[in-house]
Amino acid sequence: MKAKIQPSPEGIAGILSVKGFLFGERRVRANTHLPAISLFAGGGLSDLGYELAGFEFVVQVEKEKNRATLCAKNFPGAESVVGELERTWKTVVQKYREKRPGDRLALMSVTPPCQGMSHSNPDRGKRSHSQERDRRNCLILEALPVIEELQPRVVVVENVPQLLTEPNGAFKGGKGQSLVDAFAERLPEYHLFGRVVQMADYGVPQDRRRAIVVAVHEDEQWAKRLLSAKVGPWPASTHAQGSSNGLLCWVTVEEWFKEMGYKQLDARSSGTARDPDDPLHIVSVYEEDYYWRVADIPPYSGCSAYQNSHCRECGRADVPEGMAMCPYCGAVMHNRPYVVEKDGTVRLIKGRHSSYRRMRHDEPARTITTASSHVGSDYKIHPWENRVLSIRECAELQTVPRFYDWSWALETGHTYLVRVVVGEALPPWFTYLQGQLLRQLLDSEEISEDALAPFRWAREALSNDVGLTRG
């Protein structure tokens, strides 16, 4: 039975804060003294938060042309460098020095692709793919020449949690040194802080855990103060899984969708699968079998299509799980994920527990990925409507501001690129909060005990959480 969602007044205020961020105007500060560079920029979504916090992006690097085009259209004042960083890093350094001669780089954002380490990668760990996986995992090391040349005051690296823990055979003769250890060895003049951060702890309506490594140059006196206090340079969390220590509860999908008021969609026809007033609020139309796989999952149940027990041919409602054919009439279970083999036999598609499953309505959304349109991927089905999440819903669960200009992608038929770019990003709401904190630190000569208050939640994290510190 559907549970009633009744957020507290404080919880509603927290939701409205993020909603206000999404609908706010773009405020660009002129002549900022906090220049920034973005490596592996994608569409620049994560950079938006830092910009709104007061940083100015001077150079953005992205190897893929279409992503770079989106990024350049949204950051017209930044120099766009297109290509592999290992080949373009000298150009990056040159462009920065030309545009900001004599200015110390304040922030470098490093957000390489995560597919090599992500648990959602189906090839992860297979021996035949290990060499390619290690190569992709090593992408953050391509940032090292730029760091060594420009000596930024702060470097922020973001990736999946495995960044902090997974050994990589590319290092130490295959003995499995971690990627972060290899990164740290090349930066003796930096203090490193690292931990896994849960985006839902900041009011993002999404269960998204990311590894954040912050490297602070030894010239920054405040870094030593943080180290001595056993505090990390992350903003204070505002939410928790269940109310605790005065924090708000995580924002659930139902709370968020109710506040946002999205138009109801249905994947059965082109007329019901789109909102004519919002080009991003759209989903694919499904053929009959695909549609019934979704529609027969009870709304608000969190169940999967593998659990659909109703035979659409004979009407029996007690077909046991694990069967591709109805044992009563012999018909194919069209509302379960099945495949017909070459010899004509029918079997269920092999899938994980989370495949072909509705999101729970009473929890934050599961991690938004680049495969958000795939009905068979992890927890991609709407909690109560018969479809996957729309592009608009995915973008706003990722807290992408509405002022972001997607027109190029929509006008040139690159709609799927929007889903990919959205799924790759670190939520801009978090980078906005992180950027505000970093701006405060970079503007400070010293950090007083009172000024450490926003960090206190992380005091124990540096020693007890998955992470690292190095003074």
pLDDT tens per residue, range 66-110:
999 999 999 999 999 999 999 999 999 999 999 999 999 999 999
CA distance 291 to 272: 13
Nearest to 75 by CA among 101, 55, 100, 94: 55
What is the helix (H) or strand (E) element at residue 144, kind and residue range? helix 144-150
pLDDT given for residue 257 in this prediction: 97
**E strands, 225-316, in order:** 239-240, 248-249, 274-275, 278-282
User: What is the sign, positive or negative, of the torsion defined by CA atoms of 366, 371, 372, 375?
Assistant: negative
**How do beta strands 35-39 and 107-110 pair?**
parallel
In DSSP terms, 158 is beta-bridged to 212
Q: Which of 74, 57, 64, 65 is nearest to 109 (CA)?
A: 57
pLDDT tens per residue across span 222-242 = 998 888 888 888 888 899 998
Residue spans of alpha helices (H) in 229-343: 253-260, 288-295
With b for 16 or more beta-carbon neighbours within 10 A and e for fewer, the 253-292 pattern comes to bbbbbebeebeebbbbeeeebbbeeebbbbbebbeeebbb
Q: Which helix (H) or strand (E) holds 37?
A: strand 35-39
Q: Which residues of the chain have pLDDT under 50?
A: 1, 3-4, 117-132, 173-174, 457-467
Structure tokens at 323: 């069967």
DSSP secondary structure, 110-137, as one string: E----TTT-TT-TTTT-GGGHHHHHHHH
pLDDT at 7: 64
Bridge-based pairing of strands 56-62 and 190-198 is unpaired
- Which amino acid is present at 205? P
The DSSP call for residue 304 is B
Residue 79, amino acid: E
Q: What is the pLDDT of residue 236?
A: 86
Class of 9-249+427-470 in CATH = alpha beta
Angle between helices 9-23 and 428-442 (to 10 degrees): 90
Where are the chain's structural domains? 9-249+427-470
Buried b (16+ CB within 10 A) or exposed e, 145-162: bbbebbebbbbbbbbbbb
The pLDDT of residue 328 is 98
What's the pLDDT score for residue 242?
Answer: 82
Tell me the one-letter amino acid at 340. Answer: V
**Residue 418 identity (one-letter amino acid):** V
